[in-house]
Amino acid sequence: MNAADTNTLIDERGLSKLKWRCRRGLLENDLFIERFFKRHEGALTEFHAEGLRQLMDLSDNDLLDLMLARKEPAGELDRPDVHAVLAMLRTPQ
């Protein structure tokens, strides 16, 4: 990802695809993600979208552990975009 992508807002089609990809089997995860989109969908950039895509590759339980701050991103997930999205997901109402 180049520097320009970090500030490029995702378009409506990209947002729709991202929302579809974020559908989860665990209700708790869906609630976090639904709140995330309600708050941030108008300001999401390609940088955020890539961080969210990385998180969506996780199992539901691993994702929940990260969102509840039971764990922190490690290995391939220890990236600025993932940390930024997690901070947004963890922000209480």
What is the 3-state composition of the chain as percent helix, strand, coil, each rounded to the nearest 5? 70, 0, 30
Span 17-40, mean pLDDT?
A: 93
Contact partners, residue 32, CB within 8 Å, separation at least 6: 67, 89
| 33-84 per-position pLDDT tens digit | 999 999 999 999 999 999 999 999 999 999 999 999 999 999 999 999 999 9
What's the pTM? 0.88
Per-residue HEC secondary structure of 41-69 comes to: HHHCEHHHHHHHHHHHCCCHHHHHHHHCC
> What is the chain's alpha carbon radius of gyration, rounded to the nearest angstrom?
12
